[in-house]
């Protein structure tokens, strides 16, 4: 057993300090990024915001909407080759990734899809725990099988494992264990890492090897997205912020709530009807029962199930996120998103126990 005494930070622990700026308007900020990848030999240009490969978020319909803004979607793992047939001509191959697990069935499914649709460029190898030797070996296997594709792999939270997965063949590493709004890994296992510090440390490790990282989880507001990018993340992946929209194709439920308002014509309290959409973590009991029809005796659920307000089309949320990012850049004097991390100074606002500082 050992203890690391260094202070580690989440998004809620900091604010970004404003700086003098020569920008006259938010519209002058360029949010597009250009990336060259370590292994895949092509250049990507777009806005580096990603929809997570979660049920109710990473759908083909979401990808079609987000690509109109230059954004990206990692698709859920349940899509089979035939599911792409009605959409493949409309999907921009620079704007989505096929997601896969690490089983033999996953490998066969992935191979079938890419063989049928060779225009696909991105593969996301997604597991909850990226620290197993099996996972590292699987990344190497996918790199050997698909040498020209961009490989996204994760999740991890430390610099050493970030570099390990890069050397195994990944171009982009997903960073985050436990920060998601419907993830209960930290509660169930005690395992995790504060997300802002994880991004800072893993970005440094990845950039030294010419690779990139995604901050995956923990963003509840546009300001959190800005903090992740300011900390050095190349991409930010969103789940909860994009849940509840029409494009997620989730079931819509109605909730009847007695309000404090009174109908003057009847003298009775008004009953409000609210539309809700089910949203759950991909290691939740809901997800496991949907995929396996049961929760196996040897494991526990590491995700929650909640009902979020139905938000309609995703366009308003996208504009809110992008508008917040542009504002951040104007506050710190960054004319482009690429320059945001260079212009970012974080101020710690969370009150940490004095005992921590005394012991240090």
Write out the catalytic residue numbers: 183, 185
CA angle 54, 315, 336 (to 5 degrees): 90
Determine the Cα–Cα distance for residues 117 and 128; give it in Å rounded to an integer: 27
Determine the Cα–Cα distance for residues 260 and 129; give it in Å rounded to an integer: 46
> What would the two tokens of residue 136 be?
């590292």
**Cβ pair 151, 174 in contact under 8 A:** no
Determine the Cα–Cα distance for residues 148 and 329; give it in Å rounded to an integer: 34
* Radius of gyration of the chain from its Cα atoms, rounded to whole angstroms: 21
3-state DSSP call for residue 141? helix
Helix (H) or strand (E) holding 193: none
Cβ neighbors of 57 (< 8 A, separation 6 or more) are 51, 76, 238, 239, 242, 243, 248
How distant is the alpha carbon of residue 218 from its chain centre? 8
Cβ neighbors of 184 (< 8 A, separation 6 or more) are 178, 281, 284, 301, 302, 303, 304
Angle between helices 159-168 and 133-145 (to 10 degrees): 30
């Amino acid at each position: 057993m050992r203890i690391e005494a260094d202070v580690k930070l989440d998004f809620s622990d900091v604010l970004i300090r404003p700086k003098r700026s020569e920008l006259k308007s938010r519209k002058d900020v360029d949010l597009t990024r250009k990336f060259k990848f370590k292994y895949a030999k092509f250049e990507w240009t777009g806005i580096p915001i990603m929809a997570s490969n979660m049920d109710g978020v990473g759908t083909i319909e979401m990808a079609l909407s987000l690509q109109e803004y230059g954004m990206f979607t990692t698709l859920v793992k349940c899509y089979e080759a035939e599911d792409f047939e009605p959409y493949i001509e409309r999907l921009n191959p620079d704007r989505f990734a096929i997601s896969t697990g690490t089983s033999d069935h996953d490998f066969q499914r992935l191979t079938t899809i890419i063989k049928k649709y060779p225009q696909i460029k991105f593969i996301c190898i997604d597991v909850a725990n990226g620290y197993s030797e099996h996972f590292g070996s699987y990344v190497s296997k996918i790199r050997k099988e698909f040498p020209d594709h961009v490989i996204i792999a994760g999740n991890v939270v430390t610099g050493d494992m970030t570099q390990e997965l890069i050397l195994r063949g990944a171009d982009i590493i997903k960073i985050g264990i436990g920060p998601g709004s419907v993830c209960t890994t930290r509660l169930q296992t005690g395992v995790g890492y504060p997300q802002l510090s994880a991004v800072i440390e893993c970005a440094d490790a990845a950039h030294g090897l010419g690779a990139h990282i995604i901050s995956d989880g923990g963003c509840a507001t546009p300001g959190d997205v800005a903090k992740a990018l300011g900390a050095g993340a190349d991409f930010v992946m969103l789940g909860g912020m994009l849940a509840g929209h029409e494009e997620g194709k989730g079931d819509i439920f109605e909730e009847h709530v007695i309000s404090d308002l009174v109908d003057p014509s009847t003298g009775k309290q008004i009953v409000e009807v609210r539309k809700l959409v089910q949203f759950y973590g991909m290691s939740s009991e809901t997800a496991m029962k949907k995929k396996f029809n049961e929760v196996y005796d040897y494991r526990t659920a590491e995700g929650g199930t909640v009902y979020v307000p139905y938000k309609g089309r995703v366009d308003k949320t996208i504009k809110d996120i992008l508008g917040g990012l542009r504002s951040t850049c104007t506050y710190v004097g960054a004319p482009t998103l690429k320059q945001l991390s260079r212009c970012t100074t974080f101020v710690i606002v969370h009150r940490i126990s004095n005992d921590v500082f005394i012991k240090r």
